[in-house]
Structure 1
Amino acid sequence: MGISIDWFAFVQVFAAALIGALLVVGFYAVGLRLLVRGGRAPIVAPAEFTDAITVISEKEARRAAKAAAKAAKKSPLTDGQKRLARIGAYLSFALCGLAVLAGLSLIVLR
C-alpha cells in the first residue's frame, strides 16, 4: 500500500493561494494609498492593552491627527481629483472584498 500524492492538485492550491494573497494585499494597498491621496487618511485610535509594551498617549494621538489634517490641506489635488481618488479607493476595497469572497467560494463550493 503506497502513498500517492497528486502533485498537480498541490500546484493548483499553491497557485490559487499565491494569486489570492497577491490580489487581496495589492487591492488593499492601492485602496489605502488612494484613500490617503484623496485626503481621508485613516486615523486609528490606540487600543489600551494591559500587557502592551508601548501605548501612544492621547497627546501623541492628537499630534498624529493634527499632522494628517495638515497634510490633507496641503494636497495639490483639486476637489474633483480627490473625489476620484476616494471613489477609486472604495472600488479597490470592493475588489479586495470580492477576491476574499472568491477564495471562500473556492473552498465552500469544491
Structure 2
Amino acid sequence: MSVTIDWLAFVEVFAAALVGASLVVLFYALGLRLLVRAGRVPVVTPAEFTDAITVISEKEAARAAKAAAKAAKKNPLTDTQKNVALVGAYASFAMCALAVLGGLYLIVAR
C-alpha cells in the first residue's frame, strides 16, 4: 500500500488559511482604528482570574475610562466624519465576520 500526498492541494489549503487569517486581522484592526476615530474608544473592564499575572484595579480601570473620554473630547473630526468612521468600523467588523463565516463554509462544504 502506497500513500501519496497531493502537494498542490496542501499548498491551496495553506494559501487559503494564510489569506483568511490575514483578512480577519486586517478588518478587525481597521474596525478598531475607525471605532477609535469615531470617538467610541472600547474600554474593557478587567476580569478577575485566579492565576492572573497582573489584574488592574478599579482605580486603574476608572483612570483608563477617564482617559478614553478625554481623548474622545479632543477628537478633531466633525460629527459627520465621526458617523462615517463609525459606519466604516461596523462595515469592517462585518467583513471580519464574513471572512470567518466564509472559512467555516469552506470547512463544512468540502
> Structure 1 length normalisation: TM-score?
0.98
Shift of 1:57: 0.4
For residues 20-40 of structure 1, the C-alpha deviation after alignment (integer angstroms, 9 at most, x for no partner) is: 001100000000000001000
User: What CA distance in whole angstroms lies between the structure 1 residues aligned with 2:64 and 2:50?
Assistant: 23
Shift of 1:70: 0.2
Identity among equivalent positions (%) equals 76
Residue type of the partner of 1:86?
L
The answer as to 2:99 corresponding to 1:99 is yes
For residues 40-97 of structure 1, the C-alpha deviation after alignment (integer angstroms, 9 at most, x for no partner) is: 0000000001111110000000000000000000000000000000000000000000
The ranges of structure 1 where at least 4 consecutive aligned residues each deviate by more than 4 angstroms after the TM superposition are: none
Shift of 1:3: 1.9
How many residues are matched?
110
Equivalent in the alignment of 1:32: 32
Equivalent in the alignment of 1:63: 63
Paired residues for 1:16-95 under 5 Å: 16-95=16-95
Equivalent in the alignment of 1:2: 2
For residue 5 of structure 2, give the secondary structure of its aligned residue in structure 1.
Answer: coil
> Structure 2 length normalisation: TM-score?
0.98
RMSD: 0.6
User: What CA distance in whole angstroms lies between the structure 1 residues aligned with 2:38 and 2:44?
Assistant: 17
Residue type of the partner of 1:107?
I
For residue 84 of structure 2, give the secondary structure of its aligned residue in structure 1.
Answer: helix
Gaps of 5+ in 2: none
Shift of 1:2: 2.2
Gaps of 5+ in 1: none
